Amino acid sequence: MEKRIVIATHAMFSEGIASSLKMIFGDAVPVECITAYVDLSVDYQDKLEKIVSEHDYEHAELVVLTDILGGSVNNEFMGLLDKYNFHLITGLNLALLFEVVTCPAEDLTANLPSIVEQAREHIVLCNELVEAKAAAAADDQLAELNEF
């Protein structure tokens, strides 16, 4: 079984994150980018449905990654989940994309819940990390003083 990855986002986000992926993996990982609502002459509802309706489900897993829950791109795909057997993940970030890309196709379905959880762990308010590190350092200094 193979894996097909489609990145569908508002505007050019999909191409930007695919460019970052290519910087790390080169051309070894083909992804398809949908830059939705850039060209007003395109019927995106039809275009997005064709992606899932024309997919060869017998030979490849289909993973669609979108940018935001409740956004129009994700909502279009959500409406297709009851008709087609594909994986839809929203909240796209580079950590999530790396995990999906590196997961073997035959393990994808079983691993998607943990892949999503791992990607969530990469969303961090770094100020809190710095504050926690500073507080730990202060505690260490205080402990050293108390040893005398």
DSSP state of 91: S
* pLDDT at 135 (0 to 100): 85
Give the domain ranges of the chain. Answer: 2-123
* pLDDT at 148 (0 to 100): 66
Q: Check: CB of residue 2 under 8 Å from CB of residue 105.
A: yes
Average pLDDT, the chain: 94
Phi, psi of 125 (to 5 degrees): -85, 100
State how far the Cα of 45 lies from the Cα of 50, in Å rounded to an integer. 9
Query: Considering the chain, what percentage of its residues have pLDDT values greater than 90?
Result: 84
Q: Hey, which residues does 13 pair with through a beta bridge? A: none
This prediction's pTM:
0.89
Residue 1 carries which side chain, given as an amino acid letter?
A: M
Query: N- to C-terminal Cα distance for the chain?
Result: 65
44-102 pLDDT, tens digit per residue, is 999 999 999 999 999 999 999 999 999 999 999 999 999 999 999 999 999 999 999 99
Half-sphere exposure of 97 (CA within 13 A, CB side): 28
Architecture of the domain delimited by 2-123: 3-Layer(aba) Sandwich (3.40)
117-146 pLDDT, tens digit per residue, is 999 999 999 999 899 888 888 777 777 778
* pLDDT at 117 (0 to 100): 97
Q: What is the token pair recorded at 77?
A: 């795909």
